[in-house]
Amino acid sequence: MLPRVNSAAIRRLNMVRVFHALRENPNCAQRDLSRLTGLDKATTSAIVAQMIEDGLVERSDAPRARRIGRPETALGIAPSAGLLVGARLEPGTIRIVSTTLAGTVVEQSQLPGSTDLATALRHLHEGIDAVVAASRLEGGAAPPPLRGIGIGIPALMDRAGRLVLAPNLGWRDTPIRPLLEEALGAPVHVDNDTKAAAMAERLFGACRGVEDFVYLTGHSGVGGGLFLGGRLYRGAQGFAGEIGHLTVVPGGRPCGCGKRGCLETYVSETSILAQAGERGRALPDLWAAAAAARDGDPVVRTLLEAAGSHLGVALSHMVNLMNPGLVVLGGNLSIVAEFVLPTLNAALDEHALGPLRRDLRLLVSPLGPDAVPMGGIALAMDGFLSVPGPIL
């Protein structure tokens, strides 16, 4: 009923708190750490000493000027302590990014994706090897050691990291994490792409410090990442957040999941382009749809307005059920936000309860389509920080 706590777990929690404070405040003075973490000075200083000994934190050479007293050196997560790799696996493309342990981007690359599992995994493997090899720091002969890999996939992933169903990749019941871990030789963390992106918004994006928010994204499907009470909420099986499969048109367009009239059959990039095609508008991507709408194309405008309206209805269900304080439109939805938001807002006004609607903030993601690979970084960072025992 209540979490069990012991002193090792507390030390770990405090260390993670210091880690994030250093990550979010580059060149932090040790005296500021207590205030930033809420930990007392003795605890902070013991943790910092241990992290320096472990090679995780370094004191910078450049002394930091103080107004009064002797100058103070600044602290930071050591770039040499390790690399993290984040990846986004989509049917058409694989995107890979490497960062320092603190989340500063070092290298990026993009490769062709595949719906053939073996091909996709081979490309991912080769791509990660190449990105890691290229991730040399200034003056470094070899790249820092790889500490973890995080991968976002458009799939239902269960709590054990098993891929249950990926309608747009055509994969099901695949133990993807052990397959990857064996191939890649480093800890691998796999999660639903939208959940990963929501974690990125929380760690690096618009939702730093926000306890309750919903992150919405639309690529091949539409997904929601739920941060509730400061934690990514996964649900009983790990499938929470499937807003893309809320029925918005009973008996409507057929969906990859086997149902009809799901939100994502009207709102995902794939379905918006398909509907445009059915109406004689061949558009390669949502950037083209946004451009056509900006030029006043009534067919594309009507499609985007309908998408906004359907999304607003589904979102009103989410608002009434979960009372989030903030909704972030991310991924490719951010590309067409200006054409989607007016009808989306009107649907929220009509269908969400007054007091819940009134205080709801709606933001367009600053990370945009980059959120998923950075979500892989967030997964890898979270995994790295939650390993019991010494960090390095």
Amino acid occupying residue 366: P
Say how far apart CA 293 and CA 290 lie, in whole Å.
5
Count of residues touching its own copies (by CB under 8 A):
60
CA 144 vs. chain centroid, Å, equals 24
Say how far apart CA 34 and CA 42 lie, in whole Å.
9
Selected from 325, 342, 366, 383, the binder of its own copies by CB under 8 A is: 325
Residue closer to its own copies (CB basis): 54 or 211: 211
Query: By CB under 8 A, is residue 5 in contact with its own copies?
Result: yes
Selected from 318, 336, 367, 374, the binder of its own copies by CB under 8 A is: 318
Beta-sheet strands, E only, within 66-219: 72-77, 83-89, 93-100, 105-112, 146-153, 156-157, 163-166, 171-174, 188-192, 213-218
Residue closer to its own copies (CB basis): 226 or 303: 226
The least CB distance from residue 373 to its own copies, in Å, is 22
Query: By CB under 8 A, is residue 42 in contact with its own copies?
Result: no
Query: By CB under 8 A, is residue 388 in contact with its own copies?
Result: no
What 3-state class would DSSP assign to 253?
coil
Which tokens sit at 227? 């941060």
The least CB distance from residue 230 to its own copies, in Å, is 7
String marking each residue 326-355 x if it binds its own copies according to CB under 8 A = x-----------------------xx-xxx
β-bridge pairing 361-364 and 326-330: parallel
Residue closer to its own copies (CB basis): 82 or 238: 238
Query: By CB under 8 A, is residue 288 in contact with its own copies?
Result: no
String marking each residue 223-242 x if it binds its own copies according to CB under 8 A = -x-x-xxxx-xxxxxxxxxx
Amino acid occupying residue 160: A
What residues does 166 pair with on adjacent strands?
Answer: 171
CB atoms within 10 A of CB 251: 8
Say how far apart CA 140 and CA 127 lie, in whole Å.
21
String marking each residue 295-314 x if it binds its own copies according to CB under 8 A = ------------------xx
Say how far apart CA 286 and CA 139 lie, in whole Å.
41
Contact between 323 and 354 under an 8 Å Cβ cutoff? The reply is: no
Angle, vertex CA 148, rays to CA 177 and CA 99, nearest 5:
130
What residues does 321 pair with on adjacent strands?
Answer: none
Residue closer to its own copies (CB basis): 123 or 234: 234
Query: By CB under 8 A, is residue 259 in contact with its own copies?
Result: yes
Site residues for its own copies per CB under 8 A: 1-5, 10, 13, 16-17, 20, 38-39, 156, 164-165, 209, 211-212, 224, 226, 228-231, 233-243, 245-247, 257-259, 313-314, 316-318, 320-326, 350-351, 353-356, 359
